[in-house]
Structure 1
Amino acid sequence: MSNDTDVPSSSCTFEEIVTSPYKVGLEDEVNPSAKCSADHFFRQIWQKQPAIFHTSQRQDPKSGALSNALSMAWNDVADLLSQCRQGESQPLYFQQGKPVTDPHCLYSSNPFAAYLDSCSVIVNHADFHHHLIASLCNDLQKTFPHVYANTYLTPPNGHAVEAHADDRDVLVIQIIGQKTWKVYKHVPVQFPFEKEQVGKNGLEVPPSIKTAGLCFEQEMVLQPGDVLYMPRGFVHEATTETINSGPFMPSFHATIAIATHDWCLSVVLSDTIRHMLNGVADFRKALPIGLSPEYKSSSGSICPNKQLDQAMSMIQNNVTTEVLERNLKAKYDMHNSHAKECRDKIINAQSKKRKRCEEYVGYNAASQLDLDSVVRASIPDERESVVIEEGQLRGLTVRQENCTALMGILAVLKQDPSLHVKVRELRDIYDEKDSISKLDMICDFTLLSFARCCVELGALALVESLSTL
């Protein structure tokens, strides 16, 4: 195996992150005034403590995969969700920390409808669904053997999951909006954490973790361009609570997963030994166990010493550093080959001209909508042309704070069928006077989600462009 002092070569993205202004999570272990670099990161921070890097504060901002990903806007997020919705792996939905168990029944598996009902939307392997995130992961793999991206869209005053720890190292890249993070400084005696995924799968977060205090000595608010590095095993939680009466904004961030739980010696060694022993027929036979004497070995042992000695001799003679390195590389290559195929597909699709939609209502029309699309009230024939899947609801469930204003916008459009409005300007047509719903809760992505749902259900129709009016 490689010497543990070796430092991986760096991608442009990783160099830009680690050479940005930064703060470490455990002040007593690393000198925060030291200049950071890839070398410093892997020797002093990697798998030791969290750190926050502020790429937006760089004096020499670079262009490349990271800046392209940070340029993503709400139209890009909508495209990402649409791509994922069409794939085999559907988005995951959480409402104030609780998983939504039947999103098809509640929202017809429509991420925009779920978002309007205050759900967080998680896209696993987002690098298979958006070209900018695919390119970001491709570049980071020049440093790390294999990475992938999960994205988190969280509405204002919400959170996706409860406090928990992960069994992998991650880079959290804040792209749109802001999110408040608590990272608890409790470091287990046996680190990496033996039970790394507390807060998941029925494992409770020990009370001692939350009483140990916070890394960085306080809650940290990630702004666009901030990158949080979090080693596996550190308990954390995040919310989009509005800070200092600021604007009501959703948050969108990408979590770059570095599957370090798969790279440790215990996993690589056990996989190698299992594969080797499975190649011998005698070692695949069931051990002599059972209630009846006929199923017991003549020696009374479940594993005769001779057979165990043969297995141990085979392991000692064949399991070498070179074999482990070869098997680990084969594992990386397998994951990277699959990832490359999926990422190339989405990157190449981006270069093709978008096919013009010939429909005004329904799913296909809705998937074309962005913030600059123009919509109007649909006519009866258009509404009747929309086929609703059996069991699918015709209406929407909208969070209480937004309901009155959104229904008011829809009412204004229906009252004047000649009114054509850009999606991003829909809030301008509604008079919020005497309304219990405030328009400052209606962000651009809420307008886009609402318009997409209304066009899909047939309440609104897509107008191709202002030039056709």
Structure 2
Amino acid sequence: QLDAVPSFRMAVHPHIGTRSLDLVSERDKVGFETVLTSAKLMIQEKLSVGSISAHLADKYNLFNNSVKKQREDLLGQISSVESGKAATSQSSKCSHVVGHQAACCIKFGSNIQFRASTPEERESVPPPISKERGLVVREETCDALLALLTGLKGDTCKTLCLETARNEMKNAGDDNSLICDLTLLSFVRHCVEMGAVALH
């Protein structure tokens, strides 16, 4: 809201900061002080817990709406998924356990299990064609998702599927209110693609 006021977007007078304050004209100092006072008053009037809450709500809604189509497309896969037996056979058809091809085997409704990858499996993942980058996780979901990954790495005998992974987060008491099925699916697929997690 401060950006909406032209005077708040103006540059500070070049004399301020480049010379002793005693050498700055009184008019320039008074003018700058007036702008600061106006900004403080506006912040006191406009900034509140309610306004911050509303801003964050708009931010979350904007993000959720931007992925709505992707969510609907992925949810549409549910109708094409066969019974659990067919999902199990799908697992056997996936010849890779890490990397991009393995990640594509993980879909909504499938019972494909995953586990922590071995050092050899991680080394087998081909480097990305584009600029190398790490895993980007939203701050609001970071703790719960990374705790899930840490739990897998801490117990190399543990295997999970999407449903049991969600149940495990609930049992651990993690705040996963913002973790929808799409978020969990995307996280696991990226972990498999990068080699942090492998198909079982």
| TM-score normalized with structure 1 length | 0.24
The alpha-carbon distance between structure 1 residues 420 and 380, as it changes in their structure 2 partners (threshold 3 A), is same
Q: By how many angstroms is 1:387 displaced?
A: 1.3
In structure 2, the residue matched to 1:428 is 167
Q: Any residues of structure 2 matched to 1:44-59 within 5 Å, and which?
A: none
In structure 2, the residue matched to 1:456 is 193
Tell me which of 402, 413, 420 is aligned to 2:152.
413
Q: Any residues of structure 2 matched to 1:289-438 within 5 Å, and which?
A: 356-371=93-108, 372-389=111-128, 391-393=131-133, 395-430=134-169, 432-433=172-173, 438=175
Once the two structures are superposed, what CA deviation does each residue of 1:42-98 show, in whole Å capped at 9, x if it has no partner?
Answer: xxxxxxxxxxxxxxxxxxxxxxxxxxxxxxxxxxxxxxxxxxxxxxxxxxxxxxxxx
Distance 1:253 1:461 in 2: 24
Report the 3-state secondary structure (helix = DSSP H, G, I; strand = E; otherwise coil) of the residue aligned with 1:441.
Answer: coil
Once the two structures are superposed, what CA deviation does each residue of 1:183-208 show, in whole Å capped at 9, x if it has no partner?
Answer: xxxxxxxxxxxxxxxxxxxxxxxxxx
Distance 1:402 1:253 in 2: 19
Once the two structures are superposed, what CA deviation does each residue of 1:118-151 show, in whole Å capped at 9, x if it has no partner?
Answer: xxxxxxxxxxxxxxxxxxxxxxxxxxxxxxxxxx
Tell me which of 60, 70, 73 is aligned to 1:157.
60
Distance 2:153 2:181 in 1: 21
Once the two structures are superposed, what CA deviation does each residue of 1:93-126 show, in whole Å capped at 9, x if it has no partner?
Answer: xxxxxxxxxxxxxxxxxxxxxxxxxxxxxxxxxx
The alpha-carbon distance between structure 1 residues 419 and 158, as it changes in their structure 2 partners (threshold 3 A), is same
Asked if the contact 1:424/1:447 (under 8 Å) is kept, the reply is no
In structure 2, the residue matched to 1:251 is 68
Distance 1:253 1:409 in 2: 24
More helix by share: 2
Q: By how many angstroms is 1:402 displaced?
A: 0.3
Q: By how many angstroms is 1:462 displaced?
A: 0.9
Report the 3-state secondary structure (helix = DSSP H, G, I; strand = E; otherwise coil) of the residue aligned with 2:93.
Answer: coil
Asked if the contact 1:376/1:421 (under 8 Å) is kept, the reply is yes
Letter matched to residue 392 of structure 1 = E
Report the 3-state secondary structure (helix = DSSP H, G, I; strand = E; otherwise coil) of the residue aligned with 1:358.
Answer: coil
Q: By how many angstroms is 1:432 displaced?
A: 4.7
Q: By how many angstroms is 1:380 displaced?
A: 0.6
Asked if the contact 1:424/1:444 (under 8 Å) is kept, the reply is no
Distance 2:186 2:96 in 1: 19
In the alignment, structure 1 segments of 5+ residues that lack a partner are 1-155, 161-178, 180-238, 241-249, 255-352, 464-469
Letter matched to residue 359 of structure 1 = H
Q: Any residues of structure 2 matched to 1:152-231 within 5 Å, and which?
A: 157-159=60-62
More strand by share: 1
Q: Any residues of structure 2 matched to 1:70-219 within 5 Å, and which?
A: 157-159=60-62
Q: By how many angstroms is 1:382 displaced?
A: 0.3
In the alignment, structure 2 segments of 5+ residues that lack a partner are 1-58, 72-88
Asked if the contact 1:386/1:458 (under 8 Å) is kept, the reply is yes
How much identity, in percent, do the aligned residues show? 36
Distance 1:456 1:402 in 2: 20
Report the 3-state secondary structure (helix = DSSP H, G, I; strand = E; otherwise coil) of the residue aligned with 2:177.
Answer: helix
Tell me which of 435, 440, 447 is aligned to 2:184.
447
Distance 2:132 2:162 in 1: 25
Letter matched to residue 380 of structure 1 = P
Distance 1:359 1:253 in 2: 25
Report the 3-state secondary structure (helix = DSSP H, G, I; strand = E; otherwise coil) of the residue aligned with 2:97.
Answer: coil
In structure 2, the residue matched to 1:80 is none
Structure with the greater relative contact order (CA < 8 A, sep ≥ 6): 1 or 2?
A: 2
Q: By how many angstroms is 1:427 displaced?
A: 2.5
